[in-house]
Structure 1
Amino acid sequence: MHGPPIGSRIDSLLEALWRANGTELLLTAGMPPQIRVGGDLQPIPGQGPLTATATDAVLAEVLLPEQADVWKTAHEYDFTFGWRSTARVRGNAFSQRGTTALNLRIIPRTVPTLAELGLPPAMTEFARRREGLVLVTGPTGAGKSATLAAMINQININRACHIITIEDPIEYMHEHKRSAVNQREIASDTASFSAGLRSALREGPDVLLIGELRDLESIRIALNMAETTGTLVFATLPAHNTVESLTRVVDVFPAEQRSQIRVQLSAALAGVLCQQLVPRVGGGLVAAYEVLVANAKIRNLIRDGDTDRLRDRVVSGGTEGMMTFEMSLSELVRGGEVTYETALARSLHPKDIEASPTVPAQYPEERPRAHSRNNKKKLFTR
């Protein structure tokens, strides 16, 4: 759903965000409007603290009447709207201590390309596939939506097929090129991800994009479509590395079903891209990637639940396009885009970070695998 023509107050705040090359605008009562630039929040110069009345007024500028009715009862609401001819905005309104707060994320209208995003070559190969499951994962705000949009755009340009996306909300708008692209938004076009996926089984997609795998039923349908219907499925979920991405898919299911799900995942999986944004030298953010390609050895490890050896296979799979975060961070250090200290701080395996020729290596102790469940060696429950 798209909001009404926006008012002058929100227009000026978004202009300040755009001019600062920021990514997010945070509005909450009691402090000045905040923008996120280079990963950090900072106040917009010259703006005083917002009142509760002011945040209510800003939200009223961007919601349609029917959206405002939902907000009044739910006290949390996702929405999108267009800003000038420059960008679209993804918004979330929420109530805190009885007042309205908003987080707005700016999305350029132009869909990025794989080259513009600097995505690993494996992503081009994933886009050429005719079936299988590709997971794009990472923490919130890591740029997963842009990556998925670039993948869909690549297919749209090069292949005559039917693409369906199920999103909450729609962020990047795709035009029909060689492909027919039908984009469905939760609430306005379908009731839920699981409902949209059940319907997609009868809609004949060649390529299916799932904005987020949120529940057991959605994951089950995605696996079935990737494995049995000749559909190329892209999906996203929050995770901090490729192994955790696979763990999250399996652990949604009851323990007695996980063995069968591992078998199905090993057959359906094409690969995993996990990404995170890292502070760039000179300001801004740059993406670091971890890539897993589902070759025969990877599939066997997934099927057997032997995840403690997955990372070793990724390390040795460079000729097939695989890489660890440490390989990606080392490349960014060598290119002068990220400092050695930043790379060390972002790594769970700092001894694998390669220093630049002018920086001596100083390895701290490896950190515990904080994102592994209970820090156990085996991540898939047998």
Structure 2
Amino acid sequence: MDMNAILKAALEKGASDIHISAGSPPMLRISGELLPFGDKPLTFEETRSLVYSILTSDQAKKFENEYELDLSYGMPNGRFRVNVYMDSGGIAAALRAIPALIPTMEEIEMPEAAFRLARLPRGLVLVTGPTGSGKSTSLAAMLNLINLERNCHIITIEDPIEFIYQRRKAIINQRELTIHTKTFASALKYALREDPDVLLVGEMRDLETIAAALTLAETGHLIFSTLHTIDAAQTVDRIIDVFPPYQQQQIRAQLSMALEGVLSQQLLSKVGGGRVAAREVMLINPAIANLIREGKTHQIYSAIQTSTQAGMKTMEQAIKDLYDKGFISYDEGISKSSNPDELRRLIR
């Protein structure tokens, strides 16, 4: 079995993810469901051969030393984000398909508020959600809008590089962790000397990266990043909780001034096949900035609920909209809501 043949078939079938591990056939995630590719389980040797066929010698050495490896892999008709890891059966890999073309914001039905966030001159914009919720695609669409509209300098810091941008109006420099820079925090530290207007930070993983991103947003740069959080309130809490208690009040004040918006998204199964994104939208206004500053994040949900005219929307309101349009079933909406009682009330 050939890895490129598996990946080619996965792209043709519209798979979002491919899983390679010993003891089962290659598995393809199609419309959110894992399905086997063939019926012959892979042996340890076959799995190792498939995975090593897409690694360079340096990547293979790094994997053998660390037992974990992130990389990107390209072939003529597609690109993949790859994680290679060890498990009880030996070597395993998870590959995420990356579209060859960056979709437009219209094509992935991003809300009008997202266009406003992409066109800001400065500030911090976060796209959050669980793994596999389309965060990278949404960010790529927003960055490409800037690329098409603004004469500016964009720097991306990614792990690994996913979408490849074609230069239009903007100068774009894409940097990959371990290849072009050691850490997100280090890349951000030196970014000030690189005259950026816009920065994409693949993930705000640690205190140093978050602190650097906040400082850059405060000093006149537009910063985009991601967090694995399910809503705006949790996003604010996650950022604050990274810091020691004696620093948290200062960070609340910083965040209330630097943060411009949070888009929290998840993918739901569509009626008839495929998936569709539901997006919660929080835009910073004086009331929400004050809630962040005073540590009253539990009140953010209510503030979003009452600010729909400003373009905000709770996740339950977003799911209801998809249900009203006939895109999703009632059961799917309820199963993906973190506040099902509120969703039931909205749908009545």
Q: What TM-score do you get using the length of structure 2 for normalisation? A: 0.97
DSSP-derived class of the 2:214 partner:
helix
Amino acid at match of 2:269: P
Amino acid at match of 2:21: T
| Preserved CA contact (<8 Å) 1:91 1:103 | yes
DSSP-derived class of the 2:23 partner:
coil
| Cα deviation code 1:256-283 (max 9, x no counterpart) | 1101100000000101000001111111
Which residue in the other structure is 1:378 paired with? none
Which residue in the other structure is 1:42 paired with? 35
> Shift of the alpha carbon at 1:353?
2.4
Q: Identity over the aligned pairs, expressed in percent?
A: 43
Which residue in the other structure is 1:380 paired with? none
Which residue in the other structure is 2:72 paired with? 80
> Structure 2: how far apart are the matches of 1:354 and 1:344?
8
- Show the 5 A alignment for 1:265-304: 265-304=255-294
Amino acid at match of 1:78: D
| Cα deviation code 1:357-381 (max 9, x no counterpart) | xxx84xxxxxxxxxxxxxxxxxxxx
Which residue in the other structure is 2:113 paired with? 122
| Preserved CA contact (<8 Å) 2:23 2:89 | no
Amino acid at match of 1:95: M
> Shift of the alpha carbon at 1:296?
0.7
Which residue in the other structure is 2:308 paired with? 318
- Show the 5 A alignment for 1:151-190: 151-190=142-181
> Structure 2: how far apart are the matches of 1:310 and 1:196?
32
> Structure 1: how far apart are the matches of 2:338 and 2:19?
30
Which residue in the other structure is 1:53 paired with? 45
Q: Of residues 186, 190, 197 in structure 1, which corresponds to 2:188?
A: 197
> Shift of the alpha carbon at 1:348?
2.3
Over the aligned positions, Cα root-mean-square deviation in angstroms equals 1.4
Q: Of residues 4, 14, 17 in structure 2, which corresponds to 1:21?
A: 14
DSSP-derived class of the 2:22 partner:
coil
> Structure 1: how far apart are the matches of 2:71 and 2:297?
38
> Structure 2: how far apart are the matches of 1:154 and 1:184?
20
Answering whether residue 342 of structure 2 is matched by residue 352 of structure 1, we say: yes
Moved more, 10-19 or 309-318: 10-19
| Cα deviation code 1:194-250 (max 9, x no counterpart) | 1111111211110010000010010001001101x2100001010011110111110
- Show the 5 A alignment for 1:203-352: 203-227=194-218, 229-352=219-342
> Structure 2: how far apart are the matches of 1:156 and 1:137?
22
Which residue in the other structure is 2:128 paired with? 137
> Structure 1: how far apart are the matches of 2:175 and 2:248?
30
Amino acid at match of 1:70: K
Which residue in the other structure is 2:83 paired with? 92
| Cα deviation code 1:32-77 (max 9, x no counterpart) | 1101011111101x34000010111111210111111111111111
> Shift of the alpha carbon at 1:141?
0.7
Moved more, 88-97 or 11-20: 11-20
> Shift of the alpha carbon at 1:351?
3.2
Amino acid at match of 1:83: M
Amino acid at match of 2:12: R
> Structure 1: how far apart are the matches of 2:197 and 2:276?
32
> Structure 1: how far apart are the matches of 2:98 and 2:345?
35
> Shift of the alpha carbon at 1:98?
5.6
DSSP-derived class of the 2:107 partner:
helix
Alignment coverage as a number of residue pairs:
348
> Structure 2: how far apart are the matches of 1:80 and 1:309?
40
| Preserved CA contact (<8 Å) 1:77 1:94 | yes
DSSP-derived class of the 1:183 partner:
strand
| Preserved CA contact (<8 Å) 1:25 1:36 | yes
> Shift of the alpha carbon at 1:354?
6.0
Amino acid at match of 2:317: M
List gaps (5 residues or longer) in structure 1: 1-7, 362-382
> Structure 1: how far apart are the matches of 2:70 and 2:11?
21
Q: Which runs of 4+ in 1 moved over 4 A?
A: none
DSSP-derived class of the 2:154 partner:
strand
| Preserved CA contact (<8 Å) 1:82 1:88 | yes
> Structure 1: how far apart are the matches of 2:188 and 2:69?
22
| Preserved CA contact (<8 Å) 1:91 1:105 | yes
> Structure 2: how far apart are the matches of 1:310 and 1:71?
43
DSSP-derived class of the 1:202 partner:
helix
Q: What TM-score do you get using the length of structure 1 for normalisation? A: 0.89
> Structure 1: how far apart are the matches of 2:323 and 2:94?
32
